[in-house]
Structure 1
Amino acid sequence: MSDANINNTAPIKWAQRSDSLYLTIALPDVKDETINLEDQTLKFKGTSGDKSYEVNIEFFKKVDAKDSTYKVLPRSIQMHVMKHEEDREEFWPRLLKDKALEKNQVKIDWDRYVDEDEEDEGFDTSALEGGMGMGGMPPGMGGMGGMGGMGGMGGGADMESLMKQLQMGGAGGGMDPSMFGGGDDDMGDDDDDEEGGEDDDLPDLEEA
């Protein structure tokens, strides 16, 4: 049997805040991944380095799958998993319900770890921007189109009001005609002077 047909257990790192968990599946260049997060379980399958890996865990307590997000990055898969709304004010003693499984598969993410009494802010989730929601849609996409549409409408309204102001100014007769070519009269006078000058010179040529 080849390694590709053997499902190896993927290593997990985790940290928590009172309202959420931050999980990292520490596998590089993951391909063909499937991720299924439910209110009590997380299932993952994918390939990394021509080997198949999986995660099949049951959380210590319920989580909120619909508000959770994940992103496949070059060196890992990272997930921001929200705790269930009933338990968003307390720290968990461990990630998994099965204490023995946690010892073998889960490590603490010391880069993101804080003590419960030292928590002062949430996770930095900038690495997850543009990621996928566990419900299947990228988070935050719903309102972006509407904002762009409103911006376009506002620009159109400004242009319309500007045109009305120009029309009203023209109808009132209060605008300087020179703005619309009124100065052509002066140019016409210059032409007449030049033509007159040429006419004055013609008799002199005939007399010569």
Structure 2
Amino acid sequence: MAAMVEKTLRPPVMWAQRKDSLYVTFKLQDVKDESISLTATTLSFAGTSNNKSYAVEMDLFKEVDPESSTWKVLPRSIQMHIMKKEEDEDPEEGWARLLKDKALQKSFVSIDWDKWQDEDDDDPAAFDTSALDGGMNFGGAGGMPGMGGGMPGMGGGMPGMGGGMPGMG
């Protein structure tokens, strides 16, 4: 009987950017035997997750600074903070994509919207989420200006309607 050859898969990758850096995440759980190599122009990864082998070598869109970049292996992912070699002069420009090869990028790289920040957004460190009280509770927000709590002249319900449905009083 012929031996089965284990297929090496490409890991799912997510990315986001700031004007001076990139956030790259390999979305794999409990990675073992990981090997990560970052040069000025390439990012290579290999490892196993759930008894499957993953590997990829990516040619980056522009150059990065490997010496200033960091990464950490977490239980649910590998997260990298990669410093760009040159800070984007125009924040509107940035990197058009993570990889040089547009077709390759479309096959396994997606945008990490949780980490994405438009350059015209406020500093995320300055945004205090503790005031949100754990969810979508907008109590005390005051509503939209000029709305006055309802439509003018509608304070008591619709005239002639008797104040509601019969028996609901």
| Residue of structure 2 in register with 1:39 after alignment | 40
| Structure 2: distance between partners of 1:30 and 1:64 | 25
| Structure 2: distance between partners of 1:60 and 1:105 | 15
| Structure 2: distance between partners of 1:119 and 1:13 | 23
Task: Report the TM-score when normalising by structure 2.
Answer: 0.66
| Residue of structure 2 in register with 1:19 after alignment | 20
The 3 A distance-change label for structure 1 pair 120 and 47 is: same
Q: How many residues align?
A: 120
| Residue of structure 1 in register with 2:82 after alignment | 81
1:51 Cα offset (Å): 0.4
Give the conservation status (yes or no) of the 8 Å contact 1:13–1:25: yes
Q: Does 1:93 align with 2:100?
A: no
Gaps of 5+ in 1: 123-208
Task: Name the structure where helix makes up a greater proportion of residues.
Answer: 1
Q: Which structure is higher in RCO with an 8 Å CA cutoff and minimum separation 6?
A: 2
Task: Report the TM-score when normalising by structure 1.
Answer: 0.54
Letter in 1 for 2:98: L
Q: Does 1:106 align with 2:133?
A: no
Residue aligned with 1:118, SS? coil
Gaps of 5+ in 2: 126-169
The 3 A distance-change label for structure 1 pair 15 and 44 is: same
| Residue of structure 1 in register with 2:65 after alignment | 64
Where do 1:135-154 residues align within 5 Å?
Answer: none
Residue aligned with 1:71, SS? strand
1:98 Cα offset (Å): 0.6
Residue aligned with 1:64, SS? strand
1:116 Cα offset (Å): 3.1
| Residue of structure 1 in register with 2:135 after alignment | none
The 3 A distance-change label for structure 1 pair 118 and 52 is: same
Task: Name the structure where strand makes up a greater proportion of residues.
Answer: 2
CA RMSD of aligned residues (A): 1.7
Give the conservation status (yes or no) of the 8 Å contact 1:20–1:88: no
Give the conservation status (yes or no) of the 8 Å contact 1:17–1:119: no
> Which structure would you say has the larger Rg?
1
Letter in 1 for 2:78: I
| 1:120-145 deviation digits (Å, cap 9, x = unpaired) | 358xxxxxxxxxxxxxxxxxxxxxxx
| Structure 2: distance between partners of 1:121 and 1:49 | 35
The percentage of counterpart residues that share the same residue type is 56
Where do 1:118-197 residues align within 5 Å?
Answer: 118=121, 120=123
